[in-house]
Chains A and B, each alone.
Chain A
Amino acid sequence: MKRKGHGFKQSMVKLLGSGKNQDLRIALFCILLSLFAGSLLLLSLGKNPLIAYKSILQGAGFWPKARYAGHKSMLTDFLSLLNYATPMVFASLSVAVALRCGLFNICVPGMMIFSGFLATVLVGYSGLPSFGARFLVIIVGIVGGSFIGSVIGYLKFKFNTNEVVVSIMFNYIISYVVSFFIQTKYIDPTTRQSLKIGDNARLTLVDKVIGNLKIEIPLVLPLAILVVVGLWFLFARSRLGFELKAVGMNRKASRYAGVDVGRTMVISMIISGALAGLAGVSYYLGCYASIQPKVLPSLGFDAIAVALLGNSSPVGCLFASLLVMTISNGTTYMSSTLNVLREIASLITGILLLFSACSAFFKVQANRWAQELEDEYIVNMREAPHE
């Protein structure tokens, strides 16, 4: 006795049901859905989606363009992509680490500004030799971010405050205080942003001439990769990672096992903060060389959904960040060749983020359908002898 929609359920369960790589399949499903939605959007504007997507790839450096401006090539585009993706990698890892422990770090934008500002002021205007300067920038980034993280974690531990609300408050407090300091002491009257930092402290080499190309080299990219590997190791192989994951899964059972739940949560916020700090310095002292006051970097919020798309795993975040930044970077080229608004990039990204927010729902629904099919099967087996 089969019910309506049985076939649809079965194929959905096969596609998204539990088993090996369920999370990967669901992530791919979300991406496909958004590409599909994006295609509809493009079609409604009278553009060919395939050409549009290809031009995004071209803009991001995954596919050769027809022509290149002087000193530019596919390589320069690709490196530019990597440059802008680096802060996103750190930011999404920051969110992911907190999520793994069951906490929401919505303070990534604030942490970015805090560490970016500290590094700018302490190192960015100093005349230190570049190796030392850059090294210090990274240290300041880590320390600054972890400080904010530790405060949020401690407040939660001691007063059981809701970390989401505290994070939102911190975002704005940091943003305004930093803006105050920038505007009083470090303002560049023409750009209305903070004074440009010295190239010696900048984490991206800009306009580096190699051969006949002018490229940007993100110096911290290797660090980002190292961090991805390090976090992978943390979660896969270390005792701390074991405890972080356990607390994120089930606080009661973790307590029963003897884990110090409060301390573990604080540690996860500290690590998360450190990563957000790295995002901040690679953004404000890397991709860019100054801070725009009173603007909370949207990258910090986008990182939340990127972490979701990457299923809070280090490698997943890496690829999800690349994907999202590809759309972001590549769309400049697409918009100029196809005469489409630049803003379509953030719209497609927004749709992607919307679907990835639903990814948990897809998983639950697929598992529920699998259970229903199984129950139907059992009932059918039970009823068979009576027929």
Chain B
Amino acid sequence: MQEKDRTLVEFRHITKRFPKIVANDDISLSIRKGEIFALLGENGAGKSTLMSMLFGLYEPDEGEIFLRGKAEHIHSPAEASKLNIGMVHQHFKLVQNQSVTENIILGMEPVKKKLGVLSCVDKKRAQERVRSLSQQYGLDVNPQDIIEDIPVSVRQRVEILKMLYRNAEILIFDEPTAVLTPQEIESLLEVIRSLRDGGKTIILITHKLDEVKEVADRCAILCRGKLVGVYNVKDISTRQMASLMVGYEVSLDVEKARHSFGNVALEVKNLSVFDNDEIKVVDNVSFDVHEGEILAIAGVAGNGQVEVADALAGLLPVRQGTIVFEGKDITSLDIRPRIEMGISYIPEDRQDVGLLLDYNLGNNLALKTYYKPPYCKNGILYENSFTKEGDKLIKQFDIRCSDGCATTVRSMSGGNQQKAIVAREISLGSKLLIFVQPTRGLDIGAIKTIHDRIIELRDQGKAVLLVSLELDEIMELADTIAVMYNGKVQTIKDASTLTANQVGEYMMGVHHEA
């Protein structure tokens, strides 16, 4: 059989642009019927965007998608569904107060007529179909369970059954193992294999290289919106995959002056944190940060790094473990006392957490100090102090604003908003500064400024914890690198002993191969 006859999906010269970025740049690849095809790449590489177009959530700006040899314009998930394409998203779209069966049949309910007149949902028929699908592919579910009572891994099976119920031939999985325990991951990979054996075509969007190795036939690697190449998984090692994803061919040997650190400022011991859905997102994490040290936590998004930072700032409760700052146990301390003890936090979400968008710049710059003199005396706020101190910071950090301290922060650009947050947090004079994704979405100039500041802080003897998804940033700034994967710390090493490739490998869950 010719290879071409087996082509099921073909992307030809697909380009997709968003206001500030080219998400997919002239990508052409084809996927064969009955294979498990992995789409690999770092955050922002463009994998989700590409598959979202197959699923009808977006439409390409240039290029065409061919399905079974025919050009298709897929405008909505409903159309994709009719073309037998299904997608399991990272965030499930399930109705919590209804049963497994009801969720699966939503929108395509089998109907029978009672007494010849009244139409009603044929629950029996639906349940039988669910049971048979479930047995056929090894997706163990109880059709009558209510969604809110079942664990996440079972909910994922419901999402998969939704697709199978609609006779999906092409199943797209978007980072499916992010929410699963190791055993659950094994079961899922089993399921994926049996789906393939049942004649389905699977597209797996992931950054977990070990899983790709275990289950995929071929993989495409995207880097910064471009297609690096398509490879047979048997013929490529995880190290090679990692370096292609990360984009470094030669290890960068940057000679960085080795700094001597001061005392230990922050000790994190056996930290475990759970999120709202009771998933363990931080698993027994331990590390120390010294004065005069930049400890960078590397990792792909969603591996628990941000939750570590939130827990340190006091925004997330700690389930197990301790946090000791300057010799004092702050594990159950409230947020304001932590700020007053000397912990600064530049959060990941600058608009929804780091700033009060409808307040002006002066207020935001004083957001953590407004209740103290000179801003506040006897419960009364002094506008002059806000303006005076604010103007100082605006000048010092070159914050572009149309009206000085009176500018409404909502109207400022993202870069300047971030500068304002950084300015504020640095001006607190804290001993520990936690930066999460500090340069996301900023232009080169702004990035350089912030990087210079971070180095300056380290040279002044502050303890800096940097959580970043950008490998360049980590390699450039870090004294020590910790890598998190699946909520655990994979390694903590002196930055001078690690190459970018190696860090990339740890980030993807690869343990060193000989």
Instruction: Enumerate chain A interface residues (CB-CB to B < 8 A).
Output: 237-240, 242, 245-246, 249-250, 252-260
* CA of A258 to CA of B353, assembled, Å: 12
- Does B357 sit within 8 A of A, measured CB to CB? yes
State the main secondary structure of chain A at its contact with B.
Answer: helix
- Contact check, A242 vs B355: say whether CB atoms are below 8 A apart: no
- Does B287 sit within 8 A of A, measured CB to CB? no
For this complex, 13 residue pairs linking A to B, each with C-beta atoms less than 8 Å apart, are A242-B363, A242-B381, A245-B359, A250-B352, A253-B352, A253-B355, A255-B315, A256-B347, A256-B353, A257-B367, A258-B334, A258-B335, A260-B336
- Contact check, B357 vs A249: say whether CB atoms are below 8 A apart: yes
Given contacts A237-B383, A256-B353, 12 further A-B contacts (CB under 8 A): A239-B370, A246-B359, A249-B356, A249-B359, A250-B356, A252-B353, A253-B355, A254-B356, A255-B315, A256-B335, A257-B367, A258-B335
- Contact check, B363 vs A253: say whether CB atoms are below 8 A apart: no
Contact with A along B324-340 (1 / 0, CB 8 A): 00000000001110010
- Contact check, A239 vs B339: say whether CB atoms are below 8 A apart: no
* CA of A259 to CA of B356, assembled, Å: 12
- Contact check, B358 vs A249: say whether CB atoms are below 8 A apart: yes
Q: Which of A237, A239, A249 contacts B371 (CB 8 A)?
A: A239
Known: A239-B370, A242-B363. A255 touches B335 (CB 8 A): yes
* CA of A240 to CA of B378, assembled, Å: 11
Q: Which of B334, B359, B379 contacts A238 (CB 8 A)?
A: B379
User: Shortest distance in angstroms between B257's beta carbon and chain A's nearest beta carbon?
Assistant: 35
* CA of A250 to CA of B355, assembled, Å: 9
- Contact check, B345 vs A256: say whether CB atoms are below 8 A apart: yes
* CA of A4 to CA of B395, assembled, Å: 45
What B residues does A257 contact at CB under 8 A?
A: 356, 367-368
* CA of A287 to CA of B367, assembled, Å: 44
- Contact check, A258 vs B336: say whether CB atoms are below 8 A apart: yes
- Contact check, B381 vs A238: say whether CB atoms are below 8 A apart: yes
What B residues does A239 contact at CB under 8 A?
A: 370-371, 376, 379-381
Considering only residues 290-327 of chain B, those with a C-beta below 8 Å from chain A are 313, 315
In the complex, the chain A residue whose C-beta lies closest to that of B376 is A239
- Contact check, A237 vs B356: say whether CB atoms are below 8 A apart: no
User: Shortest distance in angstroms between B295's beta carbon and chain A's nearest beta carbon?
Assistant: 22
In the complex, the chain B residue whose C-beta lies closest to that of A241 is B381
- Contact check, B368 vs A258: say whether CB atoms are below 8 A apart: yes
* CA of A129 to CA of B367, assembled, Å: 50
Known: A250-B352, A253-B353, A253-B356. A242 touches B335 (CB 8 A): no
What A residues does B44 contact at CB under 8 A?
A: none
- Does B354 sit within 8 A of A, measured CB to CB? yes
User: Shortest distance in angstroms between B315's beta carbon and chain A's nearest beta carbon?
Assistant: 6
Q: Which of B347, B352, B380 contacts A237 (CB 8 A)?
A: B380
* CA of A253 to CA of B355, assembled, Å: 6
What B residues does A258 contact at CB under 8 A?
A: 334-336, 339, 368
* CA of A249 to CA of B409, assembled, Å: 13
- Contact check, A240 vs B354: say whether CB atoms are below 8 A apart: no
- Contact check, A256 vs B315: say whether CB atoms are below 8 A apart: yes
What A residues does B371 contact at CB under 8 A?
A: 239
User: Shortest distance in angstroms between B239's beta carbon and chain A's nearest beta carbon?
Assistant: 40
* CA of A259 to CA of B352, assembled, Å: 15
